[in-house]
Amino acid sequence: MIDVVHNRWQGDRGRIAALSRSVAEAAGLGDEAASAILAEAGRELALLAEVARERLEFGPDETVPVSYSGGTFGADAVLEAFATGLKSRFTHYELRPPLYEPVVGAALYAAKISGTPLDQPALDALRMAPGTSAPGGEDR
């Protein structure tokens, strides 16, 4: 598998994402190996959060807000293992759902680095509760 992802696909994110969806589907159908892969992914992501906490020099008694985004977290097993991994640490984390869709985060970052960050009313307008109707009538 490593040969396929690294050498043949050369890290193509689209192909890797499609593969992760297939693993999640297999796990949903009861495949134990696929379930184990997803659980390991969640645990590894929790370890990355721990490294980020250390690098950002949060104090041992500080609660660190953590959120998640992206297709990987669409698999319940990944999110559950991530949450469990955070809870098993000796430090405090507050797992929060994302405030914005990933594409909005990218736009916010682009606005910030261009020197024109959005003000609070604009941010509030972009934030929509899950399940509300998005422009164009699509549900989020």
**pTM metric for this prediction:** 0.72
Summarised one tens digit per residue, pLDDT across range 4-57 is 888 888 888 888 888 888 999 999 999 999 999 999 999 999 999 999 999 999
Summarised one tens digit per residue, pLDDT across range 12-22 is 888 888 888 89
Residues 44 and 42: their CA atoms lie apart, in Å, by 5
pLDDT, position 100: 83
Question: What mean pLDDT is reported for the chain?
Answer: 84
Q: CA torsion, points 96, 100, 103, 104, in degrees to nearest 10?
A: -140
